[in-house]
């Protein structure tokens, strides 16, 4: 195999042991492709690259979350950026707990545990202590980091946390998922010369993984009625002579249906980057949104260093909303991260820090600016929430709600 077939010169080269693990995962993926007849749909490749036990990006030992490339991380999330994110988010979640008469919280994809630790402490400060805090995370390595972070809180708070290996059939409380949906496998369809094909993964003559298309009528291609209708709509709206890549999110939609079916009473909040359908499938977004992250650098090659880099796509929030509504859950709200955090009182939380204390106030203010700015995370990131048993809305969605755009 040509080990350097996908190696951009601008990216750091992983350590030898990491390269060895990546090569092992690539060999397993090639085996899966061979067993499937020489081709895998892209969502299956993405699943293997991210979640193969012990070797996938989220199930292996890569650091992932952090502030800088030199700490071995690949990207930063809002909880890592500032503790004020958790303190502000807690205000909105506490109101949902009160409105539903529940005292339990479940977090999906808890990262380093920093959000969990911040929320637990914030709930105590707000006078809304939790009965339990459940974490669902596929990564054993991340679970250990989460335990270390949470145990630093001390016994009483840490004792309320437990990790779930399976979801309960019924849950009453509040669910939170920050940057969970973007890491769920997507399917790809590419139109060239007016003809749609499924874009998947094959192996070339040198043994390298590469994109490979298959006709929609092929035995290995599964096209749902919903996706067929989407492609037909794109044909009607976008010049057929334009080469176009469309991403669809069946895994994310299935996840939302599972969570909203489980939710007997309470609310489920999901924070991620993305757009409603009309913006997502814009005629000018011809190559989709698929992106990879390695050492805080973004690039577009999903076959580089399998298992060592993150592979993501923006969320198509209309499909997410439809999936939740199909279960009978209510759509509690949908808005930008900036509007959600401002409605929840982020500027008030920042004001609790003395501006005269420049060593603390200035870094906090800079982080808040990144969380709220349209040029940073404030507009690209959205918050969508579903509920059962909550009358009316919450303060966090009271102004600037965008459900009409879905």
DSSP line for 354-378 = -TT-HHHHHHHHHHHHHHH-TTTTT
Q: Which residues contact 32 (CB under 8 A, 6 or more apart)?
A: 40, 44, 48
Contact 229, 299 (CB under 8 A): no
**Parallel, antiparallel, or unpaired for β 187-192 and 195-203?**
antiparallel
Q: How far apart are CA 257 and CA 249, in angstroms?
A: 13
The burial of 260, by beta-carbon neighbours within 10 Å (0-12 exposed, 13-18 middle, 19 or more buried), is given as buried
Contact 383, 340 (CB under 8 A): yes
DSSP-assigned beta bridge partners for residue 136: 108
Alpha helices in 36-176 (DSSP H): 42-51, 78-81, 83-100, 114-126, 140-151, 155-158
Q: How far apart are CA 142 and CA 136, in angstroms?
A: 11
Contact 349, 87 (CB under 8 A): yes
Q: What is the CA radius of gyration of the chain?
A: 22
Rounded to two decimals, what is the model's pTM? 0.94
Structure tokens at 172: 């009453």
Helix (H, G, I), strand (E, B) or coil at 25: helix
Annotate 138-196 with DSSP letters as a single string. Answer: S-HHHHHHHHHHHHTT-HHHHTTEEE-SS--S-EEEEEEEES-GGGS--EEEEEETTEE
- Stretches where the chain sits below pLDDT 50 are 1-4, 68-69
Instruction: Tell which residue, 198, 205, 208, 185, has the closest CA to residue 30.
Output: 208
Contact 70, 235 (CB under 8 A): no
- Phi, psi angles (nearest 5°) of residue 359: -60, -30
Task: Tell me which DSSP letter residue 12 carries.
Answer: P
Residue 186: C-alpha distances to residues 107, 255, 267, 289, 312 (Å)? 22, 13, 25, 11, 9
Residue 105: C-alpha distances to residues 2, 119, 302, 359, 384 (Å)? 47, 10, 34, 33, 17
Q: Which residues contact 55 (CB under 8 A, 6 or more apart)?
A: 21, 24, 25, 28, 307
| Other beta carbons less than 10 A from residue 262's beta carbon | 17
Sketch out the chain's domains with CATH numbers. 75-183+252-281+313-405 (3.40.50.12710)
CA geometry: angle 148, 252, 310, nearest 5 deg: 55
Structure tokens at 377: 């995370």
Q: How far apart are CA 377 and CA 396, in angstroms?
A: 17
pLDDT score recorded for residue 61: 61
**Parallel, antiparallel, or unpaired for β 291-294 and 104-108?**
unpaired
pLDDT score recorded for residue 1: 38
pLDDT score recorded for residue 5: 56
């Amino acid at each position: 195999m040509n080990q350097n077939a996908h190696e951009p010169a601008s990216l750091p080269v992983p350590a030898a042991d990491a390269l060895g693990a990546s090569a092992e995962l690539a060999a397993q993926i090639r085996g899966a492709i061979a067993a499937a007849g020489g081709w895998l749909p892209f969502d299956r490749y993405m699943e293997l690259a991210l979640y193969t036990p012990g070797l996938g990006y989220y199930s292996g030992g890569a650091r992932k979350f952090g502030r800088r490339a030199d700490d071995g991380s690949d990207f930063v999330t809002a909880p890592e950026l500032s503790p004020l994110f958790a303190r502000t988010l807690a205000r909105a979640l506490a109101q949902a707990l009160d409105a539903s008469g529940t005292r339990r919280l479940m977090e999906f994809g808890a990262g380093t545990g920093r959000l969990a630790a911040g929320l637990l402490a914030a709930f105590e400060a707000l006078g809304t202590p939790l009965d339990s805090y459940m974490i669902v995370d596929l990564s054993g390595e991340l679970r250990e980091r989460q335990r270390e972070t949470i145990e630093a809180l001390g016994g009483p708070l840490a004792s309320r946390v437990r990790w779930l290996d399976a979801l309960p059939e019924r849950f009453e409380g509040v669910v939170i998922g920050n940057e969970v949906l973007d890491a769920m496998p997507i399917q790809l369809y590419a139109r060239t010369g007016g003809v749609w094909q499924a874009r998947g993964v094959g192996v070339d003559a040198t043994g390298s993984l590469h994109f490979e298309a298959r006709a929609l009528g092929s035995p290995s291609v599964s096209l749902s009625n919903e996706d067929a209708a989407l492609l037909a709509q794109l044909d009607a709206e976008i010049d057929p002579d334009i080469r176009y890549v469309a991403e669809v999110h069946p895994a994310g939609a299935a996840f939302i249906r599972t969570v909203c079916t489980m939710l007997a009473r309470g609310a489920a909040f999901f924070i991620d980057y993305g757009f409603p359908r009309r913006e997502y499938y814009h005629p000018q977004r011809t190559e989709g949104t698929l992106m990879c992250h390695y050492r805080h650098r973004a690039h577009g090659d999903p076959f580089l260093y399998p298992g060592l880099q993150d592979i993501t796509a923006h969320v198509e929030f209309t499909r997410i909303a439809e999936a939740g509504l199909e279960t009978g859950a209510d759509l509690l709200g949908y808005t930008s991260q900036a509007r959600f955090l401002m409605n929840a009182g982020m500027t008030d939380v920042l004001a609790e820090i003395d501006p005269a204390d420049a060593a603390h106030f200035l870094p906090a203010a800079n982080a808040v600016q990144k969380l709220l700015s349209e040029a940073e995370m404030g507009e690209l990131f959205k918050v969508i929430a579903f509920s059962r048993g909550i009358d009316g809305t919450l303060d966090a969605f009271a102004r600037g709600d965008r459900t009409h755009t879905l």
